[in-house]
């Protein structure tokens, strides 16, 4: 890539926007369909056990605070690069 050539950054922006569009659809489907289905089919006890399992994986496999660290990073990147968008 030559200095002053914005092709790569333009491609990145286009791909990032497409990915955001995909994620929004995915999240909407989870929120409005899959989570509702799970809520209807799983007992309160099963849901509590599932939550305990997620907490255990986050604590033992991923590491305490890692999830929050990535959310903080995303917020900083958003503030740096998406201000005024």
Handedness of CA 46, 61, 64, 24 (dihedral sign): negative
Answer yes or no: are the C-beta atoms of 15 and 21 closer than 8 Å.
Answer: no
In the predicted model, what is the mean pLDDT of the chain? 90
Please report the pLDDT score of residue 4 as a whole number: 67
- Return the ∠ at Cα 29 (arms to 27 and 32), rounded to 5°: 105
Give the DSSP letter of residue 14: H
pTM above 0.85, yes or no: no
Question: Can you tell me the distance from the alpha carbon of 27 to that of 40, in angstroms, rounded to the nearest whole number?
Answer: 19
| pLDDT tens-digit map of 29-66 | 999 999 999 999 999 999 999 999 999 999 999 998 99
Q: Provide the token pair at 69.
A: 């660290």
């Amino acid at each position: 890539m030559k200095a002053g050539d914005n092709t790569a950054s333009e491609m990145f922006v286009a791909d990032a926007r497409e990915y955001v569009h995909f994620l929004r659809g995915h999240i909407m489907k989870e929120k409005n369909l899959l989570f509702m289905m799970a809520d209807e089919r799983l007992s309160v006890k099963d849901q509590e056990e599932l939550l305990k399992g997620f907490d255990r994986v986050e604590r033992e496999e991923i590491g305490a605070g890692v999830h929050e660290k990535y959310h903080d990073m995303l917020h900083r990147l958003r503030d740096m690069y998406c201000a005024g968008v």
